[in-house]
Amino acid sequence: MVTDNKPSLVTINVDGVEHQVAAGANLVDALAKIGKEVPHYCYHPKLPVAGNCRMCLVELGSPMRDRATNELVTENGKAKIGWQPKPAIACATNVSPGLHVRLESPTVKACREGVTEMLLLNHPLDCPICDQAGECKLQEFSAEYGRGYSRYVDEKNAKPKKTRLGPRVTLDDERCILCSRCVRFSSEIAKDPVLGFVNRGSFNTLTCFPGRELDNNYSLNTVDICPVGALTSTDFRFKMRVWFLKQTPSIDTESSAGANTTVWSREGKIYRITPRQNDAVNDTWMADSGRELYKSVEAANRVTFATVKNAQATVEAAFAAAADALSAGALAIVGSSHMSVEEQRLLARLAQAKHASVYIPAHVGKGDGLLVSEDRTPNFRGALVTGLTDRAPIADLKALAADIDAGKVKSVLIVREDAAMLGLPASTLAKVRSVVLATHHNVTTAAAEVVLPALTVFERSGSFINCQFRLQAFAQAVPGPTGVLPDALVLARLAGADAATVWSELSANVATLAGLDGRLLPAEGVQLDGAAFASHKFPEGKLLKFAPAVNA
Amino acid sequence: MAIKIVVRRPLTFAERTYLPQIIAGLKVTWDNMMRPPVTLQYPDERPTIPKNYRGVPTLIADTNGREKCVSCQLCEFVCPPKAIRITPGEISETSDNAHVEKAPKEFEINMLRCIYCGLCQEVCPEEAIFLQSQYSLTGLTRESMVNNKAKLYELGGTLPDNHHKWDKKKEEAERQSHEGH
Amino acid sequence: MEKILTDLVLSPLWYFAVARGLLVIVILMSISAYTVLLERKASAWIQGRIGPNRTNHPLISWIPFVGTFLAKGGFIQPAADGLKFLFKEDALPGHVRKVYYVLAPIIALAPAIVTMVMLPFGQLPGGQIITLCPGADVGVLFMFAISSLGVYSIALAGWSANSKFPFLGAVRGAAQLISYELAMGLSVLTVFLATASPNENNALSLVSMVNAQTGAWNILFHPVAALVFLICIFAETNRHPFDMPESETDLVGGFHTEYGAFKFGIFFVAEYSHMIIGSSLFILMFLGGWHILPWMPTIGSGIIATLLGLGAFFFKLCFFLFFFVWVRWTIPRFRYDQVMRIGWRVLLPIAVLNLLAYFIWYALRG
């Protein structure tokens, strides 16, 4: 990868025009940066170069030097270019000073046409039923660089159309162009080498190693990087054509790694989640587990309306009841690392106003060293930064339960946490006035006096701070259930604050967030200075782009 | 100069009285009266529908009775008034048409929205949707004007083409597997 | 037969008077209604259509051939049209001047009926004139005087409707009627100059006018006057191409925009009555009345001659009604300024010059 902080540029000549590009960059990437597309299938910027698709063939040359004197040879006053006699693949070439490239020469065009024709020899006419259609490199390049008709008179090879590679991936062998991206991903990134090619010639086929299957938590990335429709997501297969889907930038909430995602939805229904490239966080990958989170949006136990004492209530009645319950005296607040930065700030102000004690439960799991961290919440750093808490997350709520039993706490506000699973049983909760803000019904909501509906990460906008102290925004992809207010508005109302001014207040009062506005973040997020919280002990181990502080 | 100036001829006295024109007009209408009427008495008489008529869009089955639509949703995409709505689905493994893999679970054309432009027929890669000769479509409710999949196939029937693209492919796959590849 | 006919026409007995009264209304209404049918059918033929051919009644439709023929020919359509007008809700708009609004259609129909009863149709074998009001040979002045009262209905309807389109229509209608009345009167004068002698009683009588045409018809000696009169009756009846008061393209419905149901129907009948009256006057003054052809001796005698005369008159009337329809579906409407120009700057000078020419001719001849 090119280091951005030390830009050493070299001059290359593309089709007779000189360009400045980063020294040592891969030629495909360097050309893409100056707006020249080199068609390619097997090359992927985040994977080792294989060079087997031959689509990126270009003509290369460099200024000739005299063998005897090592002087530049000139011809008609210009440096004489020594062109390589045969085309070379751009993906295996790094730029060097004075490199000359031909992208539009007859030879290059003939190469692309020939490669395309070869790849299409046995490729089925599946586009109408192929899920890749619309985002298929083969489809795009065939239209752009292919000859437009077939000279092939023999029957195409028939291969298995529906091979199960793993629990989440289905293979259509006929469509495979043997680019080996998936093979390289499995061995190099997922470190789970289960894929390989068998047979020879036209019968060359992708398959799993005997007795193994593609079942690691990163298997769906092979579907993302497959340039054709060979590897398909079993979940998304035949569900919806991609050109109907609206893409919304979002954040994977399954852990504090904070992988950037794109949510694909149509008419308020989410169809799939794919990774969004962020070289500082997740490159172009994400875990399979994070892709299934959208199913919670349409879960049967969604909280879709406010209830007071388990009876449906209007928004106004519920707010009145909540305000009443929260004013009953000695308030305890169970906050969450699943809340956004904005919501946490509003909750912190509520806690301040009511002199409430705040509990942030911990959700710890096993990290995989890649993109699923030990902290299974997206935003504990946010709770620290916004001042919601200054303690490490607590393992359970037994202390709060004891306080309730002792009568020290008169009312409880629980936000986005299932307290009953954390040692605060329903029977204890019933002893005090309680308000719960929740997305899904559970034991806690059943026991609560007032339940206010909350929105999932796909239904509201906000920002998270991941384990790297990187502030990243997520946007609303689909509308929430009718009449449900965003959590920030609900909390602002309870705190008597204005949700619209939360960022001006944050940037004015919180040093870490000075000058920032969470609604205007760049796509790749903003790296914050986490030095102020260096004394904290965080559970995260090494991740793809994160290493825990050594002094901790 | 390409401009030709046409000098307006002054009217003759007869023309200025307007009477010859009236008489000529009366003759025209009289001649018309002598001609047979061109009226088509619609419910009793029906017009002959030309071959290229664009009537109600329908779905068709091939000569083996296989539904040709594979729910690629190109028609849904191209439809200018967004009248088409397809729910794609997978053909079950046990079906005779399992080799086609994909077929619409539901296919709705809202005839209150349809503008009979024929783009769906033009875009269809499987030649499964055709605007046929049906021109009289009425309903008593909005719902009844939404043609569902069953109705569309009932209206569409079978068109006698013999492409059998998918069946040929299946035969070829079977042949190759018999030959031992 | 002859006795009954004579009695019906002449008898002063009350039941004959009632029968005559009913006859006026029945004839007027049914001729108007069937003129409407003619209008619809003829316009359909001109436009390549079929016209009304569906209306039928169970009492008639079962009859083989006849029932079908009546339906195809649309002969039951006028009954349906009339009944529709009769049974529609007779809405009274809130913004109209109610008394005058209701009065206007009555005033439209009354002059039409009054003029109608005075029209002579034929001659009984005894020499008595067949009219619906026996013995009142009132002459052409009365005709013009009464039938011109129709303009009051237009003015009244337009004014009482209290909205802009009817009002514009009424103003146009009034101006148009006044404009063409002059030329019409002058053209008629030319004819009477020829036929009536100074000392004669009933000099302006229509009957003596018809009798004067036993040989040559007036149209042969007074073609210019006939043409002016013909154009003027088109204008007076507000028919195309002179239907300024209605003028549906620019005035919605003109003076009867605000009328519906039977009141509108009455306006309709009045318009067609005016067509009948206008045509009849033309026939009486220029086309020899009940004479079958110019210079043709009376065929047969007694009742036969009477019936033939009546038939000739009726045939000429039918032709004229058809001619009205034919012209309507041929010629586009004049612009309002064109209407005024034709009336004042074309027809009136022609009529005056024509009159002067005949005057000089008669003066020179002595």
Secondary structure, 3-state, A489-548: HHHHHHHCCCHHHHHHHHHHHCHHHCCCCHHHCCCCCEECCCHHHCCCCCCCCCCCCCCC
A152 touches chain B (CB under 8 A): no
- What's the number of CA atoms in the CB half-sphere (13 Å) around residue A295? 6
What percent of chain C has pLDDT above 90?
Answer: 2
DSSP string, A100-147: EEESSSHHHHHHHHHHHHHHHSS--S-GGG-TTTTS-HHHHHHHHHS-
**Per-residue pLDDT averaged across A456-465, rounded?**
95
Per CB-CB distance under 8 Å, the chain B contacts of C330 are 22, 25-26, 28-29
Q: Is the pLDDT of residue B3 over 50?
A: yes
Examine residue C271 and state whether it is found in any structural domain, yes or no: yes
C52: tokens are 């009304």
**Interchain contact C/B (3 or more Cβ pairs less than 8 Å):** yes
- Tell me which amino acid residue A328 is: A
Q: Is the pLDDT of residue C262 over 80?
A: yes
**Interchain contact A/C (3 or more Cβ pairs less than 8 Å):** no
Q: Is the pLDDT of residue A4 over 60?
A: no
Q: Which of B19, B39, B44 best tests the C interface by mutation, with the highest count of C CBs <10 A? A: B39
| Euclidean distance between CA atoms A62 and A96, whole angstroms | 9
A304: tokens are 């879709």
Does residue A91 sit in helix, strand or coil?
A: helix
Q: B14: pLDDT confidence band, cut at 50, 70 and 90?
A: confident
Whole-number mean pLDDT of chain A?
A: 92
Q: Is the pLDDT of residue A331 over 60?
A: yes
- Residue A71 or C134, more confident: A71
Question: The tokens 């070829």 sit on which residue?
Answer: B172
- pLDDT attached to residue A100: 94
A503: tokens are 């960022």
- Residue A491 or C90, more confident: A491
Q: Which residues pair with A83 in a beta bridge?
A: A61
| Euclidean distance between CA atoms A455 and A134, whole angstroms | 31
CB C201 within 8 A of CB C298: no
- pLDDT attached to residue A287: 95
Q: A2: pLDDT confidence band, cut at 50, 70 and 90?
A: very low
CATH 3.30.70.3270 is right for the domain spanning B57-162: yes
- pLDDT attached to residue C8: 67
- Residue C285 or A350, more confident: A350
Examine residue C113 and state whether it is found in any structural domain, yes or no: yes
Whole-number mean pLDDT of chain C?
A: 82
CB A42 within 8 A of CB A185: no
**Per-residue pLDDT averaged across A82-109, rounded?**
93
Q: Is the pLDDT of residue B96 over 50?
A: yes
- Please list, in sequence order, all residues whose beta carbon lies within 8 angstroms of the beta carbon of residue A479, skipping any fewer than 6 positions away: A268, A459
Examine residue C145 and state whether it is found in any structural domain, yes or no: yes
- Judge residue C258's burial from the number of C-beta atoms within 10 Å of its C-beta, 0-12 exposed, 13-18 middle, 19 or more buried: buried
- Please list, in sequence order, all residues whose beta carbon lies within 8 angstroms of the beta carbon of residue C364, skipping any fewer than 6 positions away: none
- pLDDT attached to residue C1: 60
Q: Is the pLDDT of residue A86 over 80?
A: yes
Per CB-CB distance under 8 Å, the chain B contacts of A133 are 72
One-letter-per-residue 3-state SS of A181-245: HHHHHHHHHCCCCCEEEECCHHHCEEEECCCCCCCCCCCHHHHHHCCCCCEEECCCCCCCCHHHC
Q: How far is C49 from chain B (nearest CA, A)?
A: 5
Q: How far is B120 from chain A (nearest CA, A)?
A: 14
| Euclidean distance between CA atoms C71 and B17, whole angstroms | 43
Of residues B90, B126, B177, nearest to A238 (C-beta): B90
Taking an 8 Å cut-off on Cβ atoms, the answer to whether B177 and A158 are in contact is yes
Q: In what order do the strands lie in the sheet with A163-164?
A: A163-164, A169-171, A231-233
Separation in Å, CA C203 to CA A537, B61, C138: 132, 90, 10
Examine residue C64 and state whether it is found in any structural domain, yes or no: no
**Per-residue pLDDT averaged across A236-254, rounded?**
94
Of residues B70, B76, B99, nearest to A128 (C-beta): B70
B100 touches chain A (CB under 8 A): yes
Examine residue C194 and state whether it is found in any structural domain, yes or no: yes
**Per-residue pLDDT averaged across C248-261, rounded?**
79
Tell me the pLDDT tens digit for each residue of C322-347: 998 899 889 888 888 888 888 888 88
Of residues B76, B125, B172, nearest to A155 (C-beta): B172
* Domains held by chain C: number: 1
Of residues A129, A203, A240, nearest to B101 (C-beta): A129
Q: Is the pLDDT of residue B181 over 70?
A: no
- Residue C3 or B145, more confident: B145
Q: A1: pLDDT confidence band, cut at 50, 70 and 90?
A: very low
DSSP β-ladder status, C129-130 and C122-123 = antiparallel
Taking an 8 Å cut-off on Cβ atoms, the answer to whether B33 and C330 are in contact is no
Q: Is the pLDDT of residue A350 over 90?
A: yes
> Would you tell me how many other CB atoms lie within 10 Å of the CB of residue B52?
7
A124 touches chain B (CB under 8 A): yes
B65 touches chain A (CB under 8 A): no
Taking an 8 Å cut-off on Cβ atoms, the answer to whether B165 and A241 are in contact is no
C47 touches chain B (CB under 8 A): yes
- pLDDT attached to residue C20: 75
A51: tokens are 């060079």
Domain boundaries, chain B: 57-162
Q: A297: pLDDT confidence band, cut at 50, 70 and 90?
A: very high
Taking an 8 Å cut-off on Cβ atoms, the answer to whether C330 and B37 are in contact is no
Taking an 8 Å cut-off on Cβ atoms, the answer to whether A158 and B70 are in contact is no
Which of B113-117, C207-211, C343-347 has the highest average model confidence (pLDDT)?
Answer: B113-117
Tell me the pLDDT tens digit for each residue of C143-199: 888 877 888 888 888 888 888 888 888 888 888 888 888 888 888 888 887 776 666
- pLDDT attached to residue A552: 44
- For residue C130, what are the domain limits? 89-365
| Euclidean distance between CA atoms A340 and A385, whole angstroms | 11
CB C122 within 8 A of CB C280: no
Taking an 8 Å cut-off on Cβ atoms, the answer to whether B73 and A244 are in contact is yes
Separation in Å, CA A336 to CA A301, A381, A382, C156: 20, 11, 10, 84
- pLDDT attached to residue C121: 78
Examine residue C275 and state whether it is found in any structural domain, yes or no: yes
Taking CA atoms, what residue in C is nearest to B39?
C49
B18 touches chain A (CB under 8 A): no
- pLDDT attached to residue A475: 96
Examine residue C214 and state whether it is found in any structural domain, yes or no: yes
> Would you tell me how many other CB atoms lie within 10 Å of the CB of residue A353?
14
Q: Which residues pair with A249 in a beta bridge?
A: A262
Q: C269: pLDDT confidence band, cut at 50, 70 and 90?
A: confident
